[in-house]
Amino acid sequence: MSEPHSEDNTSEPRLTQPPEPKLTLSPALETHEGLSVAELRDLWMILAPHERAEAFRLLPRPDAEDFFLELNARDHAELVLALPADQQRAWMRLLPPDDAADLTQAAPASERERLLGLLDEPTRKEVNALLAYAEDAAGGLMNPRFARVRPEATVDEAISYLRRQARERLETIYYVYVLDEQQRLRGVVSFRELFSAAPNRRMSEIMHSDVVTVRDDQDQEAVSHVFSQHGLAAIPVVDVLNRMKGIVTVDDIVEVVQEEATEDIQKVGGMEALDAPYMTISFSRMLRKRAGWLSALFIGEMLTATAMTYFEDEIAKAVVLALFVPLIISSGGNSGSQATTLVIRAMALEEVKLRDWWRVGRRELAAGVALGSILGTIGFCRIVLWQAITPTYGKHYLLVAMTVFGSLIGVVTFGTTAGSLLPFVLRRLGLDPASASAPFVATLVDVTGLVIYFSVASFILRGALL
């Protein structure tokens, strides 16, 4: 391993003043005493790229190496590009091929060729092979360096062979993979099994031949389901001919799981997924991600104004009806939001599949009637009670209370059922079910809620108020 940079870097010109001071920096950075690793980790999110590079270069070398290996692809790319050109090579070569590939993908297109040129020849070949895969496919996640042995090797031979392999190029050795001459995956032996097996037994005798694998073009979300289903530390990646290409380790999957959960949560909250940490995404990019959905929802919500126009005469005759409009439609929205969130999450965890739509819909219909009755009863009591204290709702208050009761059952039942089925519809259409966000369902339910409310009102109040 080459030396990334010397601890004494007085020969390097230091920035005596950060050129674009966006924020008040910690006093340590300003006085050039340097931050500790813990301090740097803590301040990382709020430092500008050149400040990060500055603080990073002041770290003692072993700390800097540990810190560097912890970073994600985006930070890797930004940091390496912010370092002086003569230091970039050493840091690029510190990375295993899968991380080097991710760094390259996260860097601006114009820099990629140059960054790849910094690698040594065999690693560059490995990285180029990885770059051929989509970033979110198993092939884009995998590490091409894994422990491999031949079926006819004995346990003792395998252990001493692995000791040589480990010295050169292994990253992780949880499992030893048994490959034939065509590099086809024949079996797997866990390290624990290899270690505890009798020294003279052959790999073909102790290996498991029913190996859990993923295909190199499989989506990362599907890969993460294979991990949570089998609880393995690493899964081999094979191509269509069962030739082994690399391994995906479970620590890569933690990041995938976090990423997918973040995307889902942001969609449930009613926006495009940001694809970047909140504190570092630029204001204008964040605004675009949010304004799109918000405008679409707004335009959808305009239908409520249209619907209300139809009921303008009813409102003019019975202003009391207008008072409960926000209460009624928000109850539909809230219950729909619960139902859609439950189904979206259950789908993401594969607890619920497309074919379950009927069972889910039936269950949510029942839940909607139950929840609607609860809210309807509370609403009914509220109106009767209020009227007893201060007469607010006129002499027909009982009819108004019944209207609210009936509408709530209808609106909540509709909201719950529609909210639970919308993710199925989206998935059936090949769209992301998580787009059936709480605000999307609320908007859908608002218009219908108004129609239900005014229909119930005109049925119950006809002859009395209307």
Interface with its own copies (CB under 8 A), residue from 59, 141, 214, 450: 450
Interface with its own copies (CB under 8 A), residue from 231, 240, 241, 389: 231
Footprint of its own copies on 196-225 (CB under 8 A): 196, 224
Footprint of its own copies on 326-345 (CB under 8 A): 326-327, 329-331, 333-335, 337-338, 340-345
Smallest gap from residue 183 Cβ to its own copies (A):
22
Footprint of its own copies on 39-58 (CB under 8 A): 41, 45
Nearer to its own copies, 128 or 394 (CB): 394
Footprint of its own copies on 391-420 (CB under 8 A): 392
Nearer to its own copies, 132 or 378 (CB): 378
Q: What stretches of 349-429 show up as alpha helix (H) in DSSP? A: 357-389, 397-428
- Provide the phi-psi class of 190: left if phi over 0, else alpha when psi is between -120 and 50, else beta: beta
Interface with its own copies (CB under 8 A), residue from 173, 384, 451, 466: 173
Footprint of its own copies on 340-379 (CB under 8 A): 340-346, 349, 351-352, 356, 360, 363, 366-367, 370-371, 374-375, 378-379
Q: Which amino acid is at 158?
A: A
Footprint of its own copies on 286-305 (CB under 8 A): 286-287, 290-291, 293-295, 297-299, 301-302, 304-305
Say how many residues touch its own copies, by CB under 8 A: 111
Helix (H) or strand (E) holding 249: strand 244-249
Nearest-angstrom CA–CA distance, 21 and 79: 18
Interface with its own copies (CB under 8 A), residue from 443, 444, 452, 465: 443
Q: Which amino acid is at 96?
A: P
**Segment near its own copies (CB under 8 A); pick from 4-12, 47-55, 121-129, 309-317:** 309-317
CA distances from 207 to 103, 151, 189, 396, 419 (A): 36, 8, 5, 81, 49
Footprint of its own copies on 113-172 (CB under 8 A): 162-163, 166-167, 170-172
**Cβ partners under 8 Å of residue 174, min gap 6:** 190, 191, 233, 234, 249
User: Any long-range contacts for 123-131 (C-beta under 8 Å, 24+ apart)?
Assistant: 123/93, 123/97, 126/97, 127/97, 127/100, 127/101, 130/97, 130/98, 130/101, 131/101, 131/104, 131/105
Footprint of its own copies on 179-198 (CB under 8 A): 191-192, 195-196
Nearest-angstrom CA–CA distance, 121 and 132: 17
